[in-house]
């Protein structure tokens, strides 16, 4: 299974490896993994995994998110304290391939204390999610064969399944509270299934079904709700689109009479704004939920509902 790490992410992985030799004792004294004997210490690679661990673990877990709010989690650079947190955590929740620096540190320090989302819920091929037949070859050229799309959390039902599996893992680690984990996972599943119904109903009758997005993060959302994503770039939000690709996106946006070009909270909107000017469209945020913004009190559910309303407006849904 392949993902596409950015050059900065690869450098971050190398930096993490250099720090591994002496970091076991370097975890931060305040809030580091292993500091609360009454709770299971969990380290999460980025926000959606933190959300799952906190909702399912409740008061029984202490969750540390390695990616700070407002930062792109793809390019996370681990400091020695964070590598120490991975080393000391009772459970490390990751999505292998999404954060190369985290993968390196986990491989060296976490042993069998890893819950890898990519092994409990099958991932889509990057070239397949949300693309129509006419443009499949075009996107397949952007992503090497075998590349997987990591953005599985954008399908609420898949996230619910991952939550069920995480509850099982926590229950095996902490048998006395296994029933609590199962109950909280069931409650979260109900919330996520309600969200799924809202999306299905809200996007059922739309004038358009094509979404022009900053990068192809929305394959799961598109597949689940019969949308077609047109990505300005591929899976890596840092990649610069070629002039040829920009021309193709502009042509497709005009062809599908797109009224909105979507950009993301953690990525510069400049390219989306350029395309919007060319086609006479507006811009709007469609959040792939790789991380939360540095301010505000949103969570996964509220951001997804904001996404739904943004899509309904952009696609002319009745």
**How far apart (Å, rounded) are the C-alpha atoms in residues 42 and 31?**
11
> Which pLDDT value is given to residue 136?
37
Query: According to CATH, where is 3.40.50.1980 located in the chain?
Result: 7-156, 198-315
pLDDT tens track for 139-149: 433 567 778 99
128: confidence class by pLDDT, cuts 50, 70, 90: low
> Which pLDDT value is given to residue 3?
52
> Which pLDDT value is given to residue 178?
98
Residue 80, φ and ψ in degrees, nearest 5? -55, -35
Contacts of 43 (CB under 8 A, 6+ apart): 33, 63, 64, 66, 85, 86, 89, 91, 92, 93
> Which pLDDT value is given to residue 271?
93
**How far apart (Å, rounded) are the C-alpha atoms in residues 315 and 35?**
49
| Length in residues, the chain | 318
**How far apart (Å, rounded) are the C-alpha atoms in residues 1 and 146?**
6
Contact assessment for residue 232 and residue 250, using Cβ atoms and an 8 Å cutoff: no
pLDDT tens track for 250-277: 999 999 999 999 999 877 899 999 999 9
pLDDT tens track for 35-59: 567 899 999 999 999 999 999 999 9
Annotation: CATH topology of 198-315: Rossmann fold (3.40.50)
pTM for the full model? Answer: 0.85
Mean of pLDDT values over 99-103: 96
pLDDT of 220 > 80? The answer is yes
Annotation: CATH topology of 7-156: Rossmann fold (3.40.50)
């Amino acid at each position: 299974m392949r993902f596409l790490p950015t050059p900065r992410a690869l450098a971050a992985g190398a930096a993490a490896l250099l720090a591994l030799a002496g970091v076991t004792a370097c975890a931060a004294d305040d809030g580091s993994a292993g500091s609360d004997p009454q709770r299971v210490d969990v380290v999460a690679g980025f926000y959606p995994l933190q959300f799952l661990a906190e909702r399912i673990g409740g008061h029984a877990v202490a969750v540390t998110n390695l990616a700070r709010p407002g930062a792109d989690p793809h390019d996370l650079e681990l400091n020695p304290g964070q590598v120490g947190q991975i080393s000391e955590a009772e459970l490390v929740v990751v999505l292998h391939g999404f954060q190369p620096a985290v993968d390196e540190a986990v491989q060296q320090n976490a042993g069998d204390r890893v819950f890898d989302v990519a092994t409990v819920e099958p991932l889509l091929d990057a070239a397949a999610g949300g693309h129509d037949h006419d443009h499949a070859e075009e996107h397949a050229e952007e992503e090497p064969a075998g590349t997987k799309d990591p953005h599985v959390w954008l399908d609420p039902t898949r996230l619910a399944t991952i939550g069920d599996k995480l509850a099982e893992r926590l229950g095996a680690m902490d048998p006395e509270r296994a029933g609590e984990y199962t109950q909280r996972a069931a409650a979260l599943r109900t919330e996520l299934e309600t969200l799924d119904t809202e999306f299905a109903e809200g996007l059922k009758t739309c004038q358009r079904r094509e979404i022009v997005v900053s990068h192809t993060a929305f394959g799961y959302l598109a597949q689940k709700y019969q949308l077609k994503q047109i990505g300005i770039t591929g899976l890596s939000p840092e990649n610069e689109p070629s002039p040829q690709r920009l021309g193709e996106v502009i042509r497709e946006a005009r062809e599908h009479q797109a009224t909105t070009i979507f950009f993301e909270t953690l990525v510069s909107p400049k390219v989306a704004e350029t395309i919007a000017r060319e086609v006479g469209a507006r811009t709007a945020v469609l959040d792939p939920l790789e991380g939360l913004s540095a301010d505000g009190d949103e969570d996964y559910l509220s951001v997804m509902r904001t996404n739904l309303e943004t899509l309904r407006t952009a696609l002319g849904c009745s």
